[in-house]
Amino acid sequence: MFKYILSRIGAMLLTLFLIMSLSFMVVRLMPMSLFENPETDPEIQRKLEDKYHLNDTIPVQYFYFMKDIITDLNFGISVKIRPGLDVFGILVSRLPPTILINFISLFISIPLGLIFGTIAALNRNTWIDHVISVLVIIFISVPSFIFGSVLQYTLTFALPIFPTLYDSQAVTFAQKMHSLCLPIVALSLNPTATITRYLRGELIENISSEYLLLARTKGLTKAQAIVRHAFRNSLIPISNTLIGMITGIMGGSLVIEKMFAIPGEGGLLVKSIFAGDHFLTVAVLIFYSAVSLVTILIVDLSYGIIDPRVRVGGGKA
Amino acid sequence: MIYDRNNLPEELLNLPASDFEALYQEDIKDEKFQTKPVGFFKDAAIRLTKSKVSIIAFIIIGIIIILAVVVPPLSPYGFNDQNISAKYLPPKMPIVEKLGIMDGTRVLKNRKVSGLSDTDRYPEGSIIEYFNVVTAKGQEMCDVRVDAYMLAGMPDGEYHWFGTDYLGRDLLTRLFKGARISLLIAFFSVLTNVFIGVVYGAISGYYGGKVDIILTHFAEVLDGMPYIVVTILFMILFGSGMVSIILALTITGWIGTSRLIRAQFYRFKGREYVLAARTLGVPDRTLIFRHILPNCVGPLITRAMIAIPGAIFSESFLAYLGLGIKPPNPSIGVLLSDGQSVLLQYPYQTVFPAILISVLMIAFNLFSNGLRDALDPTKRGEE
Q: Which residues of B touch A254 (CB under 8 A)?
A: 228, 317, 320-321
- Residue A31: pLDDT band (50, 70, 90) is low
Whether A268 is covered by a domain: the verdict is no
Q: Do residues B231 and B264 both lie within one domain?
A: yes
Task: Please state the domain count of chain A.
Answer: 2
Q: Which residue of A has its CA nearest to B369?
A: A137
Mean per-residue pLDDT over chain A, rounded: 82
Whether B234 is covered by a domain: the verdict is yes
Residue A304 has pLDDT above 70, yes or no: no
Residue type, B182: S
B317 in A contact zone (CB under 8 Å): yes
B333 in A contact zone (CB under 8 Å): no
Rounded CA gap, B164 and B90, in Å?
Answer: 7
Q: Do residues B329 and B204 both lie within one domain?
A: yes
Measure in Å the smallest separation between the Cα of A66 and chain B Cα atoms: 17
Measure in Å the smallest separation between the Cα of B284 and chain A Cα atoms: 32
What's the first-to-final CA gap in chain A, in angstroms? 6
Mean pLDDT lowest among A84-93, A185-194, B207-216, B248-257: A84-93
Q: What percent of chain A clears pLDDT 70, i.e. is strictly above it?
A: 91
Q: Which residues of A touch B343 (CB under 8 A)?
A: 149, 152-153
Whether B47 is covered by a domain: the verdict is no
| Inter-chain touch A23–B233, beta carbons under 8 Å | yes
Q: Do residues B189 and B294 both lie within one domain?
A: yes
Q: Do residues A81 and A128 both lie within one domain?
A: no
Q: At what angle do helices B171-207 and B297-320 cross, to 10 degrees?
A: 130
The CATH number that applies at residue A164 is: 1.10.3720.10
Partner-chain residue, chosen from B227, B320, B347, that has the shortest CB–CB distance to A247: B227
The more confident residue out of B363 and B240 is B363
B70 in A contact zone (CB under 8 Å): no
Is residue A149 within 8 A of residue B342, CB to CB? The reply is no
Q: Do residues B234 and B317 both lie within one domain?
A: yes
Residue A144: how many CA atoms within 13 Å on its side-chain side?
29
| Inter-chain touch B323–A247, beta carbons under 8 Å | no
Q: Do residues B118 and B184 both lie within one domain?
A: no
Residue A42 has pLDDT above 50, yes or no: yes
Rounded CA gap, B108 and B111, in Å?
Answer: 7
Q: What residue numbers bound the domain in which B225 lies?
A: 59-69+168-379
pLDDT at B132: 78
Q: Which of these three, A234, A263, A292, is where a domain ends?
A: A263
Mutation pick from A80, A142, A245, A288 vs chain B, by most beta carbons of B within 10 Å, is A142
Mean pLDDT lowest among A247-256, B14-23, B190-199: B14-23
pLDDT at A316: 38
Q: Do residues A51 and A102 both lie within one domain?
A: no
What CA–CA distances, in Å, run from A94 to A34, A262, B374? 24, 9, 48
| Inter-chain touch B358–A22, beta carbons under 8 Å | no
| Inter-chain touch A153–B230, beta carbons under 8 Å | no
A242 in B contact zone (CB under 8 Å): no
Length of chain A: 317
pLDDT at B367: 92
Measure in Å the smallest separation between the Cα of B69 and chain A Cα atoms: 23
B297 in A contact zone (CB under 8 Å): no
A296 in B contact zone (CB under 8 Å): yes
Helix (H) / strand (E) element for B128: namely strand B127-136
Rounded CA gap, A98 and A104, in Å?
Answer: 10
What CA–CA distances, in Å, run from A162 to A97, B157, B168, B351? 17, 41, 32, 21
Residue A317 has pLDDT above 50, yes or no: no
CB within 8 Å of B278: residues ≥ 6 apart:
B287
Residue type, B12: L
Q: Which residues of A touch B228 (CB under 8 A)?
A: 247, 250-251, 254, 288
Q: Which residues of A touch B336 (CB under 8 A)?
A: 145-146, 149
Residue B383 has pLDDT above 50, yes or no: no
Residue B380 has pLDDT above 80, yes or no: no
DSSP string, A301-312: HTHHHH-HHHHH
pLDDT at A301: 76
Summarize pLDDT for A163-221 with one digit per residue, the tens: 878 777 777 778 878 888 889 999 999 999 999 999 998 998 888 888 888 988 998 88
Please state the pTM of the whole predicted model: 0.84
Whether B141 is covered by a domain: the verdict is yes
Measure in Å the smallest separation between the Cα of B32 and chain A Cα atoms: 40
Q: Which residue of A has its CA nearest to B234?
A: A26
Q: Do residues B124 and B65 both lie within one domain?
A: no
| Inter-chain touch A19–B362, beta carbons under 8 Å | no
Q: Do residues A56 and A163 both lie within one domain?
A: no
Measure in Å the smallest separation between the Cα of A105 and chain B Cα atoms: 19
Partner-chain residue, chosen from A14, A22, A254, that has the shortest CB–CB distance to B233: A22
Measure in Å the smallest separation between the Cα of B36 and chain A Cα atoms: 34
Summarize pLDDT for A46-81 with one digit per residue, the tens: 777 777 777 777 788 888 888 888 887 777 777 777
A254 in B contact zone (CB under 8 Å): yes
* Helices of type H across chain A: 2-28, 42-51, 58-72, 87-93, 95-122, 127-141, 144-152, 173-207, 210-217, 222-225, 232-259, 265-275, 278-301, 303-306, 308-316
Q: Do residues A69 and A119 both lie within one domain?
A: no
Is residue A196 within 8 A of residue A120, CB to CB? The reply is yes
Task: Please state the domain count of chain B.
Answer: 2
A272 in B contact zone (CB under 8 Å): no
| Inter-chain touch B224–A281, beta carbons under 8 Å | no
CB within 8 Å of A286: residues ≥ 6 apart:
A16, A19, A20, A23, A69, A75, B229
Residue A232: how many CA atoms within 13 Å on its side-chain side?
15
B139 in A contact zone (CB under 8 Å): no
Mean pLDDT of A87-110: 88
Whether B261 is covered by a domain: the verdict is yes
Rounded CA gap, A101 and A108, in Å?
Answer: 10
Q: Do residues B355 and B222 both lie within one domain?
A: yes
Q: Do residues A84 and A99 both lie within one domain?
A: no
Reported ipTM? 0.83
Mean pLDDT of A102-115: 92
CA angle B110/B112/B117 to nearest 5° reads 130
Beta strand pairing call for B105-112 and B127-136 = unpaired
The more confident residue out of B53 and B44 is B53
Which of B318, B169, B156 is closest to B235 using CA atoms?
Answer: B318
Helix (H) / strand (E) element for B329: namely none
Measure in Å the smallest separation between the Cα of B6 and chain A Cα atoms: 59
The CATH number that applies at residue B255 is: 1.10.3720.10
A274 in B contact zone (CB under 8 Å): yes
Q: Do residues B242 and B111 both lie within one domain?
A: no
Is residue B344 within 8 A of residue A163, CB to CB? The reply is no
Whether A7 is covered by a domain: the verdict is yes
pLDDT at B382: 52
What CA–CA distances, in Å, run from A88 to A134, B190, B298? 44, 37, 48
Q: Do residues B305 and B216 both lie within one domain?
A: yes
Measure in Å the smallest separation between the Cα of B280 and chain A Cα atoms: 42
Rounded CA gap, A149 and B320, in Å?
Answer: 12
Whether A15 is covered by a domain: the verdict is yes
A187 in B contact zone (CB under 8 Å): no
Q: Do residues A26 and A78 both lie within one domain?
A: yes
Residue A313 has pLDDT above 60, yes or no: no
Tell me chain A's radius of gyration from C-alpha atoms.
24
Q: Which residues of A touch B366 (CB under 8 A)?
A: 137
- Residue B308: pLDDT band (50, 70, 90) is very high
Mean pLDDT of A140-155: 90
Whether A39 is covered by a domain: the verdict is yes
CA angle B233/B234/B237 to nearest 5° reads 90
Kindly compute the dihedral angle of the four CA atoms of residues B239, B243, B248, B254, in this order, to the nearest 10 degrees. -170
Q: Do residues A69 and A107 both lie within one domain?
A: no
Q: What residue numbers bound the domain in which A125 lies?
A: 95-263
Q: Do residues B181 and B145 both lie within one domain?
A: no
Q: Do residues A239 and A292 both lie within one domain?
A: no
Q: Which residue of A has its CA nearest to B53?
A: A134
Burial class for A273, CB neighbours closer than 10 Å (0-12, 13-18, 19+): buried
Q: Do residues B232 and B327 both lie within one domain?
A: yes
Summarize pLDDT for B151-201 with one digit per residue, the tens: 777 777 788 888 888 888 888 999 999 999 999 999 999 999 999 999 999
Whether A271 is covered by a domain: the verdict is no
Q: Which residue of A has its CA nearest to B231?
A: A285
pLDDT at A188: 93
What's the first-to-final CA gap in chain B, in angstroms? 61
Q: Do residues B244 and B173 both lie within one domain?
A: yes
Q: Do residues A169 and A234 both lie within one domain?
A: yes
pLDDT at B176: 93
Q: Do residues A163 and A248 both lie within one domain?
A: yes
pLDDT at B1: 66
| Inter-chain touch A288–B336, beta carbons under 8 Å | no
Is residue A23 within 8 A of residue A70, CB to CB? The reply is no
Q: Which residues of B touch A137 (CB under 8 A)?
A: 362, 365-366
Whether B371 is covered by a domain: the verdict is yes
Residue B268 has pLDDT above 50, yes or no: yes
Residue B136 has pLDDT above 80, yes or no: no
**Before A96, cis peptide (omega within 30)?**
no
Rounded CA gap, B49 and B56, in Å?
Answer: 10
Whether B53 is covered by a domain: the verdict is no
B359 in A contact zone (CB under 8 Å): no
Which of B313, B79, A33, A106 is closest to B321 using CA atoms?
Answer: B313
Residue B67 has pLDDT above 90, yes or no: yes
Whether B299 is covered by a domain: the verdict is yes
Q: Do residues A116 and A258 both lie within one domain?
A: yes
Neighbouring CB atoms inside 10 A of B258's CB total 25
Whether B187 is covered by a domain: the verdict is yes
